[in-house]
Amino acid sequence: MKNEGPGLLEWIAYHRAIGIDHFLIYSNDCEDGTDAMLDRLQDLGLLTHRRNASPKGRNTRAQAIAIDQLATDPVYQAAPWVLFIDADEFLNIHHGTGQLADLFAAAPEADCFLIHWRLFGTSGRHRFEPGLLTEQFTRAIALSHRAVRGSFAPKALFRTAAFLKPGIHRPRQRPDLPPDLPPARHAYADGTPASRAWGRIEAAASFTHAQINHYSVQSLDMIILKYLRGFAAGNAPPDPLSYLQSRDFNHEEDRSIQRHLPALRKERDRLLADPVLGPLQRAAEDWRLATLARQVWRRRNRPLIDRMIAAQSAMQPPA
């Protein structure tokens, strides 16, 4: 994580509400107080925080550097199951009551569940506003839209003992697997056996039991801020406009995650009542608003913003 303070408590509260009981979070170069919030959450026993120095620049490799440390991290090694996701990704379980237990029940013998992304668009928003991502962004890619490679990429929930360490999308296989042990069993969220071939995984995308809500674009100004911050993994598209055009899909409304809003709000409010976390939350929101005003909403960025607004408008579904 880097500069994720405004949304951090929502992300923690939501995943606690669906059954995740601990978090191992690596942060790097935070300016908005995210690292201080993580330290306080660690003091409260909810997570383990590691500081993760990383190179500067647009593509920082911060995520890969953290993954390299995970295999020997005692918190990771002690966890029977691990879900490896980013701060803009939410595990949304449709099956049963939407708890982890409902997902495990679909395939008790599985070692790894491959759960597909569902990309959420900007919902027509231009500016960041403090509040819940899961309330503000409700329009997503159509499940039938398979034109963009990577739109339905998987994230993995897996048994640590069956794999070497996480990968960004799938865990790394153990090179020392004893010959008398069967290979790890992969399943989709509905329990059907899963291939490890990337193309087959995307082609088999199913959302009946679960999905990863991926809020990667959010508002237009947040996309530009993302480029100023740098990317933790992979090679980003060349500019914010290209990023918007590759991810701003608003074909259908999807509010399924909102059935957990009461539990999310209750837990988030409890955390905000903490005398340390409450002020840090407000400071992170103030930092983001001030940074957007200073670095994004500048006269020299107006041509870019105008092009992004035009592209966003063209990608909205008809009224």
Q: What percent of the chain has pLDDT over 90?
A: 74
pLDDT for res 308: 95
Average pLDDT, integer, range 241-259? 95
Low-confidence winner among 68-72, 100-104, 189-193, 274-278 (lowest mean pLDDT): 68-72
pLDDT at 44 over 90: yes
Contacts of 166 (CB under 8 A, 6+ apart): 67, 70, 82, 84, 156, 158, 172
pLDDT for res 63: 83
pLDDT at 158 over 60: yes
pLDDT band at 37 (very low <50, low <70, confident <90, very high): very high
Nearest residue to 10 via CA among 92, 90, 101: 90
pLDDT at 103 over 90: yes
pLDDT at 97 over 60: yes
Nearest residue to 65 via CA among 55, 56, 77, 74: 55
pLDDT at 268 over 90: yes
pLDDT at 147 over 70: no
pLDDT at 57 over 60: no
Indicate the pTM of the whole model.
0.94
pLDDT at 67 over 70: yes
Beta strand 23-27 with 47-51 is parallel
Average pLDDT, integer, range 59-76? 84
Q: Per the structure block, which two tokens stand in for 17? A: 């509400």
pLDDT at 267 over 80: yes
Longest dimension (CA), the chain: 65
pLDDT for res 319: 56
